């Protein structure tokens, strides 16, 4: 049982890279297709919603393919995904020379920034879709 538990977590951890591919595609479409027409803030908001939709479809497919063994395991997967997502996001930002203030601005809901919903969805997604995929 413990071996299966670890294998499921490892599968989901590797599936995180698929999420990054979806995020890159989503960002590319945002920057080259509709951002020039709607502007930066609306493009940010639209791309946040579209990425949540893409992630939801991806999470649903994963939950159907790889059943998690428990709610606890689903939460562990969500925490792993959250740490990986935020780590890469801020790591790449620092590598590009962005300041913490600039990077944290994407999380400022009071300025219309809704990006905070992405890491939150990444955290709760495995649990939610464990429930939906039953």
DSSP secondary structure of 98-131: --HHHHHHTT-GGGT--TTHHHHHHHHHHHHHHH
Q: Is the dihedral of CA 100, 15, 60, 74 positive or negative?
A: negative
Average pLDDT over residues 94-106: 93
8 A C-beta contact, residue 12 and residue 69: no
Average pLDDT over residues 101-115: 93
Note the pLDDT of residue 52.
Answer: 98
pLDDT at 133 over 90: no
- Cα separation, 81 vs 87, in Å, equals 10
Average pLDDT over residues 115-133: 95
Note the pLDDT of residue 74.
Answer: 96
């Amino acid at each position: 049982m413990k071996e299966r538990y670890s294998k499921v977590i490892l599968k989901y951890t590797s599936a995180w890279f698929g999420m990054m591919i979806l995020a890159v595609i989503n960002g590319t479409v945002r920057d080259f297709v509709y951002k020039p027409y709607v502007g930066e803030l609306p493009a940010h908001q639209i791309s946040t919603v579209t990425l949540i939709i893409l992630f939801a479809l991806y999470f649903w497919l994963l939950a159907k393919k790889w059943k998690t063994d428990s709610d606890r395991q689903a939460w562990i997967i969500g925490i792993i995904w959250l740490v990986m997502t935020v780590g890469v996001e801020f790591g790449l930002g620092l590598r590009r020379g962005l300041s913490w203030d600039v990077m944290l601005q994407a999380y400022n809901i009071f300025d219309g920034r809704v990006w905070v919903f992405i890491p939150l969805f990444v955290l709760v997604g495995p649990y939610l879709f464990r429930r939906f995929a039953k």
